[in-house]
A and B are shown apart, each in its own frame.
Chain A
Amino acid sequence: MSEIATFNAHPTVAVRAESPLAFSRVTVATLASAQGAGVCIRERALLGHLILRGKADDAGFRAGVESALGVSLPLKMGPVSRDDGRGVSVQWMSPDEWLIVVPAGEDLATEQRLRAALSGHYAVMQVSGAQTLLELSGPNALEVLKKSAGYDFHPRNFPVGKGISTTLAKSTAVIRRTGDTQWELIIRRSFADYLFRWLLDASEEYGVFVAR
């Protein structure tokens, strides 16, 4: 008898064996409508996303951005500047970086307006293909965020309007609170598949509806 340990890869006890592709299947039971759902997830696909870099202490830069976008340029982390009527938002990302989201198809014109209005040391980057926006809503959306991220989501620390960038389920996400029970998540393309399945899994216990 050899002393080398062997084991049976097909357990006969109640241990679930999983295919290496198990996580590529979505086994979450989703609801047929938003009626009674604790969480609703809707992708707002193919919006225009631009990254703007520049000097916040340059009055000419600030005025140029505000004239090109028609919303104020936030100068510190906190409320996202929005014009919901036009579907335009600007979020502070770092002391010299902002995320601009505009309706689908308006990104090129927005970039051109920025380039016409700005001069000197600045940058505008087209990142629409690099990320996507998910709307997370419903009475249990907050619970899903709380168990997926370490950030403090209490309304005292995260009031409606605020936008941050943080860790989410071992990946990262931009998270914005748009209402008491409404959130926007902006996630990277390469993590989108993983994070979407994470959110479905985390939402299943509350009843989840995926809006199209």
Chain B
Amino acid sequence: MLHIYCPHCDEYREEEEFRPKGEAHIARPADPENTSDEDWGNYLFFRKNPRGLHHEQWFHSAGCRKFFNVTRDTVSYEILETYKPGQQPTVTAESRQAQASAQASNQGAAK
């Protein structure tokens, strides 16, 4: 059972109160009339399905009934952060990679 922090309710709640709602940060093409069929198809139908870090939308269906974003590791199920719609994630694939290489160079320096 996941314990999920709702940024609207400002509290951890049981997974049972939430519904996952797929990939986050999908931007609607600003100019649909001049968007290619391929780009429109990608916008409508194609979703990321990464192994590892993923930014998702979740819905607090039994609580405040608001959407929010979750950065989650799809392998370990670890939730790394939750944040409101309109905000950007602070934990990303790049930030994790930078952290890992910083740790590696620290270990190298210690030897």
Contact = CB atoms under 8 A, between A and B. Distances in A.
Contacts of A166: 13, 17, 62-63
Contacts, number: 36
A166 B17 CA distance: 7
A167 interface: yes
Contact of A76 (B10, B13, B63, B65): B10
A95 B64 contact: yes
Contacts of B17: 150, 166-167
B62 A167 contact: yes
Nearest to A78: B10
A150 B16 CA distance: 8
A93 B9 CA distance: 9
A94 B13 contact: no
Contact of B8 (A95, A150, A151, A172): A95
A94 B65 contact: yes
Interface string B1-14: 00000001111011
A167 B16 contact: yes
Interface in B63-88: 63-66
Interface residues of B, number: 13
Interface of B is mostly: loop
Contacts of B8: 94-95
Contacts of A94: 8, 63-66
Interface in B3-49: 8-11, 13-14, 16-17
B45 to A, nearest CB: 31
B11 A165 contact: no
Contacts of A77: 9-11, 64
B66 A165 contact: no
A124 interface: no
A164 interface: yes
A150 B9 contact: no
Contacts of A97: 64-65
A172 B64 CA distance: 12
Contacts of A93: 64-65
Contacts of A164: 9, 63
